[in-house]
Homo-oligomer: A and B are copies of this chain.
């Protein structure tokens, strides 16, 4: 096994979760080994790309045999840090925040929710995903004590930029942001943006294109 590459491109990183999900399916189906060729056919990728991708992190296969599914999944799990169990807080207990806090699919993604906050007094005290909603005024105290490392931002878009600044000051390093553009984010902040509207606009485009093709 060779040492991992200096810097791995984002294109490769974003394929790792897909490999991981696929390997989980294979394990569920009782498959013990798979070749890059088979995996490629199943996932719609070339065998070559799969081997290139994996070899960014090390040699996980065996010549003449292929890849051990269980072992490969475990390695990808380690690479992505899915066992980290980082403490994460959720800001915004609205519909979307509630959906994220209640989602079972997010367990095993490297974090666990330790608190929910909202600045709407009407929501404070209600239950969201097994947690009692706290007022955002309690954030400083809570972070000093619990030291969460990640935050999910699910607030109306106007409030997001200031919030990320504040949370960075409170020691939070990673953000999963559903609230649009973040203005003047600290360079140390690691932000994963999800723009739901963008996906829908893209779909709108593709449907329009499709109509015109006919």
Contact = CB atoms under 8 A, between A and B. Distances in A.
Interface stretch (A61-69, A119-127, A135-143, A189-197): A189-197
Contacts of A194: 194, 196, 199
B173 A16 contact: no
Given A150-B207, A180-B21, A109 B190 contact: no
A189 to B, nearest CB: 10
A207 B190 contact: yes
Nearest to A96: B99
Given A105-B197, A198-B17, A210-B173, A82 B204 contact: yes
A71 interface: no
Interface residues of A, number: 54
Contacts of A166: none
B109 A173 contact: no
Contacts of A203: 110, 150, 174-176, 190, 192
A-side binding surface: helix, strand, loop or mixed?
helix
A16 B204 CA distance: 12
Contacts of A94: 99
Interface string A197-214: 111111111111010000
A198 B82 CA distance: 11
A98 interface: yes
B21 A110 contact: no
A5 to B, nearest CB: 12
B81 A204 contact: yes
Contacts of A13: 202, 205-206
A105 to B, nearest CB: 5
The 10 closest A-B pairs by CB, nearest first: A110-B204, A81-B208, A95-B99, A17-B198, A109-B200, A192-B203, A17-B201, A96-B99, A99-B99, A80-B205
10 contacts: A21-B180, A82-B201, A84-B207, A95-B102, A99-B99, A105-B196, A106-B196, A106-B200, A174-B203, A192-B199
